[in-house]
Structure 1
Amino acid sequence: MTYEFTIIVPVYNEEDNLERVEKELGHYLAICTKKAKVLFVNDGSKDKSQEIIEAICQRNVDFHFIKFAQNRGLSAAIKAGFDHVDTPLLGYIDSDLQTSPEDFNLLLQHIGPYDLVTGFRENRKDSPIKNASSLIANGIRRAFTDDGMDDTGCPLKVIKTDYAKRIPMFKGLHRFLPAMILLQKGTIIQIPIRHFPRMAGTAKFGLWNRLLGPLMDCFAYLWMKKKYINYQIERIG
């Protein structure tokens, strides 16, 4: 069976959400415009997430998983997904399902001429503090990166795999994926998508790692931009 699209789902202590993830992603795979599969990346969960993930994968041939020995954070989970994907296209979605898998089809419509298509949460269903801190953080990142993106933290993206595999990920850099595609001379676009309240589980990001942490990450990005190696091979003899 030839797959064209892999959906990466980072998981950390999401036992209350995973059966809904199975239901919604299972439904989406039937209507996806590409032949798709799902890759869970369990980031060292301490609850029953792994048990549930393994049960999901046993009853769904299109579902697979990676399990970390220890918690390493969202950037590491996304990077591991990138490293293990073997399809031309990849995407990722958070396991809290505050975005809908069905909206992947909106992003896939645009991936042809673009190398990264990211969602933009037009009407966010988060708390005022969370919305305000994200707005400020996005403004700071946009000033540092000049990537033109209004919502780099949106957990719904589609990327051409060859570009994703060349991203030198480090902790916090998942917030700079559009900018890292631009460093490769790739093309990016943002598309409005729906956003929903969290139905179960707890958010993994607070004020520090939503606002002050990303500010420090901006300086790491500037260092990366200065040192980044990018080349194109014209001929091989």
Structure 2
Amino acid sequence: MPDALISIVIPCRNEAANLPLLIDEIEAAMAGRDFELIIVNDGSTDETAAVLAEQSALRSFPVRELRHQKSAGQSLSVRSGAWAARGGIVATIDGDGQNDPQYIPVLVDALRQAGPDFGAAQGQRLKRRDSKVKQLASRFANWLRNAILHDETRDTGCGLKAVHTDILRKLPFFDGTHRFVPALVIQEGYRVVHCDVVDRSRRYGKSNYGIFDRGLQGALDLGGVWWLRRRRRRMPKVEEIKRA
């Protein structure tokens, strides 16, 4: 039985130099699987649009571009991709090349094999390639988030994720949602499976999306998610009882 369609969503801003090789790697990693690429061009001012037009013509699989007129951020880019997805599972990966596409099928398979009680597979980075300052800030943010939300996830900032499309679309979206996916999936009544992934260095350019070290913004996001979980009961499983 062939695999169901997988929608791979790549939020990106000014990643024209990184995209061709990243798409090559995704094609190799997904060989033999049914998938589509949804690249969310988040207000890029470089040659991203031209690169995507060229890549779409070259590839034998769908390369779809969603274009934000102005940059809306990584989380809202994931939202755009989730609502455009045709597949039953959305896999996300950053557009800068630091996430290795070989882990996309690993995450998808882990989610499928985990069973119906699981809503997402979350990548957790090993051998981080960021600066020591960013690594320390990320560790502190992850420790604080887990201490408050108890999502049992070591690294929610990793861009490699696989989520059932219908569940992803239910999640509240705000500027920072992508860093709280495990907690929000748990809030919907599902569990999360974790997979270790190896981080890589950025090939070209510089980071266009900030890390979870922006002080006040990160604290506000964490407080908001804590409030949401406190004020909303965990969603029950609903089953209709059919009678003659």
What's the TM-score, normalizing by structure 1?
0.91
- CA displacement at 1:68 relative to structure 2: 0.9
- Work out the CA distance in 2 between the residues paired with 1:205 and 1:158: 20
Q: Is the 8 A contact 2:30 2:105 kept in 1?
A: no
> How do 1:15-54 and structure 2 match up within 5 A?
15-31=16-32, 34-54=33-53
2:213 corresponds to: 210
2:71 corresponds to: 71
Deviations 1:157-179 (A, max 9, x none): 11111111111111112110000
- Work out the CA distance in 2 between the residues paired with 1:187 and 1:193: 19
Change (3 A) 1:135 1:199: same
Change (3 A) 1:56 1:3: farther
- CA displacement at 1:205 relative to structure 2: 4.1
Which amino acid in structure 1 is aligned with residue 16 of structure 2? E
Task: Give the secondary-structure state (helix, strand or coil) at the position aligned to 2:111.
Answer: coil
Which amino acid in structure 1 is aligned with residue 184 of structure 2? M
Matched, 1:183 2:187: yes
Which amino acid in structure 2 is aligned with residue 42 of structure 1? N
- CA displacement at 1:203 relative to structure 2: 1.1
Q: Is the 8 A contact 1:29 1:37 kept in 2?
A: no
- CA displacement at 1:22 relative to structure 2: 2.1
2:135 corresponds to: 131
2:80 corresponds to: 80
Unaligned stretches of 5+ residues in structure 1: none
Q: Is the 8 A contact 2:74 2:209 kept in 1?
A: no
Unaligned stretches of 5+ residues in structure 2: none
Q: Is the 8 A contact 2:125 2:158 kept in 1?
A: yes
Deviations 1:147-198 (A, max 9, x none): 0100000010111111111111111121100001000111102111111111
- Work out the CA distance in 2 between the residues paired with 1:205 and 1:227: 30
1:171 corresponds to: 175
2:224 corresponds to: 220
Which amino acid in structure 2 is aligned with residue 105 of structure 1? P
- Work out the CA distance in 1 between the residues paired with 2:167 and 2:36: 19
How high is the sequence identity, in percent, across the aligned residues? 25
Task: State how many pairs are aligned.
Answer: 234
Which amino acid in structure 1 is aligned with residue 79 of structure 2? K
Task: Give the secondary-structure state (helix, strand or coil) at the position aligned to 1:121.
Answer: strand
2:239 corresponds to: 234
Task: Give the secondary-structure state (helix, strand or coil) at the position aligned to 1:66.
Answer: strand
CA-atom RMSD in angstroms: 2.0
- Work out the CA distance in 2 between the residues paired with 1:150 and 1:232: 27
Deviations 1:40-76 (A, max 9, x none): 0111111111111121112223211111111111111
- Work out the CA distance in 2 between the residues paired with 1:228 and 1:201: 41
Q: Is the 8 A contact 2:91 2:108 kept in 1?
A: no
- Most deviating of 226-235 and 161-170: 226-235
Q: Is the 8 A contact 1:134 1:211 kept in 2?
A: no
